[in-house]
Amino acid sequence: MGHYQANLRDIEFMLFEVLKRDQILGSGRYAEVDADTARSLLREVEHLATTTLADAFVVGDRTPPVYDPANHSVTMPQEFAKAFHAYTEGGWPDLDLTTELGGTPVPPSIRWAVAEMVLGANPAVHLYSTGPAFARLVYELGTDEQKQWAQVWAQKRWGATMVLTEPDAGSDVGAGRTSAVRQPDGSWHINGVKRFITSGEHDMTDNIMHLVLARPEGAGPGTKGLSLFIVPKFHVDWSTGELLKRNGVYATNVEHKMGLKASATCELTFGERKPAVGWLVGDEHDGIAQMFKVIEYARMLVGSKAIATLSAGYLNALEYTKTRVQGPDLTRASDKTAPRVTVINHPDVRRSLMTQKAYSEGLRALMLYAASVQDSVEVKEATGEDASLDHALNDLLLPIVKGYGSEKSYGLLAESLQCFGGSGYLQDYPIEQYIRDAKIDTLYEGTTAIQGLDLFFRKMVKDDFRAVTALGQEIASVAMSGRDELVRERQLLGAALQDVQAMITAMTRFAQASAQSPEQIYRAGLNTTRLLFAVGDVVVAWLLLRQATVALNALDDAAQPDQDFYRGKVVAAQWFCRQVLPHVTAERAVLEATDLDAMTLPESAF
């Protein structure tokens, strides 16, 4: 049996009992996918994830892809490639495709629930299989001719990459120097070096379609001067889908990483050996806005990967603590004849497990709630309704899913490992690989610091606080009324919500003061990550309380056969509210008292 355990019961609980996704299934845009079909999809991918995908998880780490510098190729481990093909040939990446691309519309909430199980079992498999999702984006952004390309691309299930980062630019995308020179036939020659390109080279698909940010000759500096280009690994006869000669983009290195080794992270060089021919996406030079469509997908993916890994870590730890016998019960610690008990009976282990459970299930709820907002966007746009607020809410949630989700998941995986004691440090158990594989989630597609800056300055201030105000109103409604059994927790939620609102007010004041004293902006910058975490805690608490309310309603039926599951939901919400939310008050006090000492201190004093 593989390392991975899917928490399908919790996924279905959030989807169907809390978010009521069955209400949008089987009609309108999703007429061909009813609730029974969705449940069947989830069961099928659970089986694939816990067997074929999970079985290839370790081999990708122990025998990672092999790079041949002579021909710039990457050869994948055979067992990993077998798992990848089982996933793609089963049509699972096609869930991202619209009718125009040969797919059947499936709500984002179901798609991301499927993704969670794949990402938890073998994340690199999902990373290599994003070609159809990127084809969909090109179909939405491209010219009429490029829409036809996207159809071929999706049908062939070719690989795809997002190519932003450069060695000297890093997160400062606007500092990129990769150039694009227009040719008489309307194509462009791309020249430059990019690094940290996920799935940049491999031998599992016939072609790889690179989406590349480059600066056309004569374009201005910064991000506004960038354009987005399609650069295929092999040229294509788009009328037949036949592959032609090799294009001038080559992998010139594969990074040696601490984790996620099955994913070939490449340096790509364009135009060094021969022209790297690309085509401008769409008719306008609007690269950064177009690429942000790809980035938004990637950030949701990264957050979901992190959350999926925490769930797997928690369930492995839980299983171990139920079987590992060590020490007497604490109530009989002085009794030398007392029987030994399983470690789940020790109070600190219970503390650790409850914390992991609450965050694991709360973060899953956050991810699926964000996906349900994406459902709303699709449904409203299909019927011509105004989806602007839903778009803004999704934008607000993405840095929380990605930044907060990845940081909390990575930190709590250490708790999962701790439950194993010294055994967890060994490769006999999967936790040590989880931790190595998960660290990247806090770094790529924008580090946590960038997510915090994005949340405050773009998703709050630039939005004129519209989405965060609407979300706050929903949270307040749960805090103000509900089941009597949760009155204490609702009070804690209300207090934490007020603290977060005060934190936003203080940071806005810091930002406004910078108009007169520019250094005051540092006071906001010193607290953006703090705000990100506080908002995340409040949103997760809110979602856990929504779950607890549904669970209590279910427990009102004495004949309810799933009593322990629902009791666990109630206690997880209570634990989180009581153990986590009081810290938000302290974080508010720290934020409001922020001074500039850290910024005025000379570098030599650090």
Q: Report the candidate in 188, 189, 191, 165 with the shortest Cα–Cα distance to residue 178.
A: 191
With beta carbons less than 8 A apart as the criterion, state whether 278 and 214 touch.
Answer: yes
Six token digits for residue 369 = 């709630």
Q: Which H or E run contains 154?
A: helix 144-156
With beta carbons less than 8 A apart as the criterion, state whether 86 and 44 touch.
Answer: no
With beta carbons less than 8 A apart as the criterion, state whether 382 and 30 touch.
Answer: no
Could you identify the residue written with the tokens 């006999």?
Answer: 428
Active-site annotation holder among 407, 415, 445, 587: 445
Phi, psi of 214 (to 5 degrees): -145, 165
Residues 6+ apart with CB under 8 A from 221: 174
CA 505 – CA 486 distance, rounded (Å): 29
Active site residue 89: no
CA 90 – CA 177 distance, rounded (Å): 40
With beta carbons less than 8 A apart as the criterion, state whether 105 and 34 touch.
Answer: no
CA 101 – CA 404 distance, rounded (Å): 34
Residues 6+ apart with CB under 8 A from 517: none
**Helix pair 388-399, 466-480: axis angle to 10 deg:** 80
CA 282 – CA 280 distance, rounded (Å): 6
CA 454 – CA 460 distance, rounded (Å): 9
Cα–Cα–Cα angle for 175, 179, 183, rounded to 5 degrees: 155
- Count the Cβ atoms, other than its own, within 10 Å of residue 43: 12
CA 420 – CA 400 distance, rounded (Å): 30
**Helix pair 466-480, 528-555: axis angle to 10 deg:** 40
Q: What Rg, from alpha-carbon coordinates, does the chain have? A: 25
- Count the Cβ atoms, other than its own, within 10 Å of residue 31: 11
Residues 6+ apart with CB under 8 A from 602: none
DSSP reduced 3-state for 339: coil
Number of residues in the chain: 606
Could you identify the residue written with the tokens 């009581």?
Answer: 578
CA 353 – CA 407 distance, rounded (Å): 18
Q: What is the DSSP string of 475-538?
A: HHHHHHS--GGGHHHHHHHHHHHHHHHHHHHHHHHHHHHTTTSGGGHHHHHTTHHHHHHHHHHH
With beta carbons less than 8 A apart as the criterion, state whether 53 and 262 touch.
Answer: no
With beta carbons less than 8 A apart as the criterion, state whether 213 and 164 touch.
Answer: yes
With beta carbons less than 8 A apart as the criterion, state whether 243 and 57 touch.
Answer: no
Instruction: Write out the catalytic residue numbers.
Output: 445
